[in-house]
């Protein structure tokens, strides 16, 4: 007992393994959360940028994200014009700033600065909103000359109209431009992504843990071959491949460790309220699904029996093999007839029958000779006939004529078994029994076992246990 407690203690072997498994579960879950965050970052970046700007500033370099030169310059220039209008209300904005702002806007309408950020819808939205503000068709903005003219019209030198366009830009265009970004291509032609630097420590830890467990499995001789371990843990191997496509296999590592903790008698994992509730719900769902599948299969089997499909299948399967069955049956009969033990038994049976017949024969009583002479003589002659018959039967079965007779007899026997009057009379009874059994099984399967009372469940479990014990004893 003391040795077991020493092992369970955190300083003991079992305790260290338990703590390590718990640690690896948390590491795998943290890595999974990080992977999911990375996969959804670009999709949710506008939301993060709106509510969590520090997170965006921290994680943008990981994804290789930089402010797009065009949209960043346009936002900066618009802000400079806005400050000039607000700080110097009596002066008109400089022509140079307006020309720069107009040129950047024209480039925005013609080029697509949202391509690498995957925000193509924002580009179309910018065009539609500018066209609606200027009351021109959206298709005109695809032409560089007309786009330049639209940019000049969007940023007029008149202060009052310019204030209106600045308000329009702030409410309609700025929310589309701010989330835009720019990403360079790496040497492989893919968009730059430095997530591997964050993932590398997890990957090294997982590789080391996998190698250590592999080494332990080899030392304990758990597998027949040393290279079986990676085959049995293929999901771990795939999750260790340093590519983004296989990172989603890493949650399976957490699942496998969780199952080890659940099977461990030293851990309470799997016996808490949440695990029990999840297990109960999973068992209910599995039972409902399996019961529905079983009912469908039983219903289809019932329909096939009613339609007589079983007779057709039996006839088709056996008909093509009737000659082979008859030939094998004839061969077995021939082998039996050549068996000395069988022939000796047949000889004894016929001899007993002869003795019985001679003892009760009335015809022998009518022979005008003493019974002490007639009956021994009849037994002697009958014995010779029996012996000759048995020897002749054994010898004839090995001749071509005998083999042909056995084949004909076997073929007739097979035909009788398949299509005889007895089979025709027995088939409806067998079908009715099968249909009744199926109905009983359907009624049993339809019972929701998870909804049974505790007493009914105990009775059912006791009956199942008794049946299993009886089967093992038998």
Predicted confidence (pLDDT) per residue in 40-70, tens digit: 999 899 899 889 999 999 999 999 999 999 9
Cα separation of 183 and 179, whole Å? 13
pLDDT digits 0-9 by tens, 173-212: 999 999 999 988 888 888 889 998 998 999 899 899 889 9
Spell 127-166 as b/e; 16+ CB within 10 A means b: bebbbebbeeeeebbeeeebbbbbbbbbbeeeeeebeebb
pLDDT digits 0-9 by tens, 439-460: 888 887 777 776 777 787 788 7
Neighbours of 299 (CB within 10 A): 12
Q: Residue 7 has what pLDDT?
A: 42
pLDDT digits 0-9 by tens, 250-299: 766 666 666 666 665 555 556 667 667 767 787 788 788 888 888 888 88
Cα separation of 434 and 422, whole Å? 18
Q: Is the pTM of this model over 0.75?
A: no
Cα separation of 314 and 211, whole Å? 56
């Amino acid at each position: 007992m003391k040795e077991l407690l020493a092992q369970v203690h955190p300083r003991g072997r079992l305790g260290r393994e338990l703590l390590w498994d718990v640690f690896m579960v948390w590491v795998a879950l943290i890595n999974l959360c990080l992977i999911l965050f990375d996969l959804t970052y670009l999709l949710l970046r506008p939301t993060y940028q709106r509510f969590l700007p520090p997170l965006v500033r921290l994680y943008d370099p990981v994804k290789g994200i930089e402010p797009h030169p065009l949209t960043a310059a346009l936002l900066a220039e618009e802000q400079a014009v806005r400050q000039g209008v607000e700080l110097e209300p009596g002066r008109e904005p400089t022509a140079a700033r307006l020309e720069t702002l107009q040129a950047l806007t024209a480039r925005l309408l013609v080029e697509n600065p949202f391509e690498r950020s995957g925000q193509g819808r924002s580009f179309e939205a910018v065009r539609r909103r500018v066209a609606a503000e200027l009351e021109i068709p959206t298709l005109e903005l695809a032409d560089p000359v007309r786009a330049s003219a639209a940019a000049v019209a969007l940023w007029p030198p008149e202060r009052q109209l310019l204030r209106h366009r600045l308000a329009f830009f702030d409410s309609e265009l700025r929310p589309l431009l701010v989330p835009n970004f720019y990403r360079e291509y790496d040497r492989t032609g893919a968009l730059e992504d430095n997530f591997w630097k964050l993932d590398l420590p997890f990957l090294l830890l997982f590789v080391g843990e996998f190698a250590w467990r592999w080494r332990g499995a080899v030392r304990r001789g758990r597998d027949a071959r040393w290279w079986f371990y990676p085959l049995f843990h293929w999901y771990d191997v795939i999750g260790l491949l340093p590519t983004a496509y296989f990172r989603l296999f890493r949650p399976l590592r957490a699942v496998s460790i969780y199952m080890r903790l659940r099977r461990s008698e030293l851990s309470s994992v799997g016996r808490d309220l949440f695990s029990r509730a999840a297990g109960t719900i999973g068992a209910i769902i599995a039972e409902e699904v399996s019961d529905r599948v079983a009912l469908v299969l039983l219903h289809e089997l019932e329909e096939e029996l009613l339609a007589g499909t079983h007779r057709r299948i039996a006839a088709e399967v056996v008909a093509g093999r009737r000659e082979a069955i008859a030939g094998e049956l004839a061969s077995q009969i021939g082998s039996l007839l050549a068996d000395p033990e069988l022939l000796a038994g047949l000889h004894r049976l016929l001899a007993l029958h002869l003795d019985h017949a001679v003892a009760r024969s009335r015809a022998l009583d009518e022979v005008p000779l003493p019974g002490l002479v007639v009956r021994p003589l009849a037994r002697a002659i009958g014995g010779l006939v029996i012996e000759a018959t048995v020897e002749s039967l054994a010898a004839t079965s090995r001749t071509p004529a005998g083999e042909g007779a056995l084949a004909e007899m076997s073929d007739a026997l097979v035909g009788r078994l398949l299509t005889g009057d007895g089979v025709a009379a027995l088939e409806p009874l067998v079908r009715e029994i099968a249909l009744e059994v199926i109905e009983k099984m359907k009624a049993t399967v339809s019972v929701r076992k998870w909804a049974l009372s505790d007493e009914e469940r105990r009775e059912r479990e006791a009956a199942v246990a008794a049946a299993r014990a009886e089967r093992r004893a038998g």
